[in-house]
Structure 1
Amino acid sequence: MRIFPLLLVLVLLSSSLAGCFDNDPPEECGSVDEGFEVSELVSDVNRMTTANVRMGDLDGDGRLDILSTQPLDGWVSWTRCDTDGCTEEILSVGLTAPVRTQVVDFDQDGSNDLLVADIGILPPSDDLAGSVVLLRRDAEGNFSNETLHSGIGRVACAEAADLDGDGDLDIVVCEFGNLNGSVLWLEQEENGSFSPHEIDARPGAIHAFPFDADDDGDLDLAVSLSQLSEEVNLYRNDGEGNFTLETLMKSDNTWFGMSGLEVYDLDGDGDDDIIYTNGDTLDMDLPEEQYPHDVHGAAWLENDGTGQFTQHELARVWGAYTAKPFDADGDGDIDLVIGTLQFDLVYLGVHQIDLVLLENVGDLTFVRHDLRNSQRYMITFDVGDIDGDGEADLVGGSHTMGNAGNAHRLVELSWQPELVWCE
């Protein structure tokens, strides 16, 4: 996709001239190193604190929109693009510190709504400041605000799904909290009220994705826990909203830094696998003798179709925060883009890698491309056709407290392989 007249920045890691000695005299040659071509969708150097980027057709026009959260400012950005450019609308009524959204027709009236996880307060705290908010959209496009659940610890995620098989939408909630927290689900009753059910009474839940792990017709939950747990868990559903914990991966240390989670059929065998990252740079208890590039990274859990999982290493990289599956090079197979959060004052002297592209060259064999001096602090991505040109687009956002250079609130990234030419 190309969007004009948006600012177009070509990320050039280096350029060089070389002699080509096939003929006499030598030809003059040049090259442009591999990198990402960047189209800035929303230019705002003062608000590069994007927490999450997610796509969905909020206005029902058949085209994917971009919803991005700005918790420091207390609003959600609703960005709509076409081949001529993008427009942005700010949604803020009833929100305090939104961190994640989901586009879903929650009341099943034919108009998509916006479900929002509101963390309430950003610093570590056990204050009951979290909430789950629904921005309900009517057929005329007007929004009304409704708080579905509040008075709980800091909320990191809220995902709507029919967890008990009764035909209406329930909500799984990550009550991250601090020392106290939980994984819980909100059962929607016939009168529209919600009854909370605790699934796991531990803090630190970051992501929770409903999916049918074992092909039994009901929705299980893939959940990542940080804090002192550092786990990837499967909560297996019996079909009536009763969940049994199965730990798929557990670190043997507290400084693992669990960060990201994706549910995706990475091996293309028809069932969903799990991709996770660990690289929370703010987990400050990493021992001095541990090199962060050896500890942090990305891996995937292969599903055999029955909900049994086998772990495979993907890459080691300091500050790995998210790993997004995406056909970056257009060859028909799925690559992975890893975004990192590497603060300059943490782990001084450790070389920085801003982005990693894992190029799938066949049979899930990946060639690694490290990109330095590239797009910094990219902690969130989503993929979809945002401009209606028939091509999937990779959109990401940066999260940094200041204008550190090469950071963007909302951009599209297109992979550019190395180019070599001779004259």
Structure 2
Amino acid sequence: MRTLTFIGLVAALTVTTAVVRDTDGSTRQAAAQSASRRRAPDTATEAEARAACGGACHKFAPPDILPQAAWRDELVRMMLIQDGVPEPAGATNQIPLPPEWLPVLRFYESGAPEVLPTPEPWPPVSAAPPALEKHAITPASRDNTPAIANIRFLDVRGDGTLEIIASDMRSGDVLMIDPKPPHNVKTLATLRNPAHIEMVDLDQDGRQDLLVADLGSFQPADHENGALHWLRQEKDGTFTTTTLTEGLGRVADARAADFDQDGDLDIVAAVFGWRQTGGIVLLENQTRNWESPRFVARTLDSRTGAIHVPIADLNKDGRPDFVALFAQEHESVVAFLSSGKRLTFEKEIIYAAPHPNWGSSGIELVDLDKDGDLDVLLTHGDTFDDSILKPYHGIMWLENRGGYPFRSHQLATLPGAHRAQAVDLDGDDDLDVVACAMVGGSGDVELKLASLVWLEQVRPGVFTRHTLEMGTPYHATLDVADYDGDGDEDLVVGWFALVEAVTGWADVWENLTASRPAVSPGPRR
């Protein structure tokens, strides 16, 4: 269930330097006095609560990850999922808990804090380097209620010029935007709810196409309206839309590679689904005529909540592997390693979150420490199930040490952390991290939250926190690239209007580190 209001947070602003620290799987951040309360005779034991709420389905949810008042609705949600009953529209507090669940509720309420600890505040916005100029993209023909789920800098034409490609879940439009003023906008296709875009020459004709994952619905639900679309680039630069497969759950991501080593490109799709639907689906390319492409689907994993499936040769054996991020109750990062046998994979756990409320929202594969292997950059800040800001949500580095699982480090906490990418923002030859946040609502709470941040790597393993934007955490996506070709990395950030209109559709943050004039004047917010 995705609700759109969040409960309170009061934060003072301070400047902090964060040293990378190992995470030990513990999130014991609740008030100690709650755990010391005496258990009433009609309160479940921890073992009984584990059996009722988790069992073999997912990790145990400790009481201190949510405030007392939230546990009743959370148990109702667990009960409905276990029973396979769809969550009804409206508040879960209208659904009674059966008598056998009441001792479990008392267990959680007795061990939970009245309120969660306040998330660590971010420093105020400053004019410190790097110098960034923000340019708002506000299409005149569109109102300011976008739902930009994915935004990319892509060289679609193959001429070395980067365009902004964005998907708007609300209108269903896939847009091409000139990153330079006056930011001309062109609609490439109109779908249902495009969630993710990948550039790939799928038919290998020398022209770059777009592979678009389509959720099939704006609100989460169990259905079969999800689809995968191919936007084929024609000789004249226009795009023709072909649906490669449909009848899936909510498709969140799709990437292409020659998984069976037969010379054509297959596709792996992350089907987020919702409560009962979802999984990892591999689409084998059996196309003989690209006027009628044919892909045969097989399910590699049936877990719900798949978000991203980036592809890489993880073990350097010459075959493409991929990494899957699972949210929902699974909350894990899993490597799918090609076995060498036809379209089969061996799974290795890269990271398993300490509890099922971790809020996973995205991953990127990157060699963050530049030691020659790929690490994982993970964001976990999804609060849309319960609308509660979590002090443990943030940005993590999963360090590849040559085996599984990877070593986990918390780089920073960030309420609503939704997307992070590694980039050398200050031009000092190491990788920093930029991240954006998205939460619901439009009140005083959001005004105190960092919405766009960067973590400056000042020496190996040590990151200093900087706030680029404060008070507008309505960004689900960002990308980084040197769009103006001046030798430094720029940003583009999408806007996602949940409750009311926002200030634009996207912002280009032009990096002036390479000492050139801004494209046009625009202050840092």
AA of the residue aligned to 1:328: L
Q: Does structure 1 residue 57 correspond to structure 2 residue 158?
A: no
Q: Distance in 2 between matches of 1:194 and 1:210?
A: 19
Alignment of 1:84-233 (within 5 A): 85-93=182-190, 95-178=191-274, 179-191=276-288, 192-233=293-334
Matched, 1:365 2:456: no
Secondary structure of 1:274's counterpart equals strand
CA distance in 1, matches of 2:261, 2:436: 36
CA–CA distance in 2 between the matches of 1:52 and 1:66? 10
TM-score, with structure 1 as normaliser: 0.83
Cα 1:122–1:268 shift into 2, 3 Å: same
Q: Is the 8 A contact 1:342 1:352 kept in 2?
A: no
Q: Which has the larger radius of gyration?
A: 2
Listed as ranges, the gaps of 5+ residues in structure 1 are 1-12, 14-30, 418-423
Aligned letter for 1:364?
A: G
2:352 is matched with which residue: 244, 247, 250?
250
Please name the residue that 1:298 is paired with: 395
Q: CA deviation at 1:341?
A: 1.2
User: How far apart in 2 are the matches of 1:265 and 1:308?
Assistant: 16
Whether 1:281 and 2:378 are equivalent positions in the alignment is no
Match of 2:373 in 1: 271
Contact 2:449 2:472 in 1 (8 A): no
Which letter does structure 2 place at the counterpart of 1:135? L
Contact 1:257 1:283 in 2 (8 A): no
Aligned to 2:363: 261
1:84-115 per-residue CA deviation (whole Å, 9 max, x = no partner) reads: 6532211224x111111111111000111111
Which structure would you say has the larger RCO, counting Cα contacts within 8 Å and 6 or more residues apart?
A: 2
After TM superposition, give the deviation of residue 410 of structure 1 in Å: 1.3
1:14-29 mapped onto 2 (5 Å cutoff) = none
Structure 2: runs of 5 or more not aligned: 1-12, 14-124, 514-525
Percent of residue pairs identical: 36
Spell out, residue by residue over 1:121-155, the C-alpha distance to the aligned partner (whole angstroms, 9 max, x if none). 12121110000000111222132221101011111
* Residue 174 of structure 2 is aligned to residue 72 of structure 1: no
State the partner residue of 2:89: none
Output the CA distance in 2 between the equivalents of 1:231 and 1:307: 13
TM-score normalised to structure 2 length: 0.67
Aligned length: 381
In the alignment, the residues of structure 2 paired with residue 92 and residue 277 of structure 1 have an alpha-carbon distance, to the nearest angstrom, of 29
Counterparts of 1:213 and 1:410, CA distance in 2: 33
The Cα offsets for residues 37-77 of structure 1, whole Å up to 9 and x where unpaired, read as 31124446523321111222112222122111001101111
* Structure with the largest fraction of strand: 1
CA RMSD of aligned residues (A): 2.7
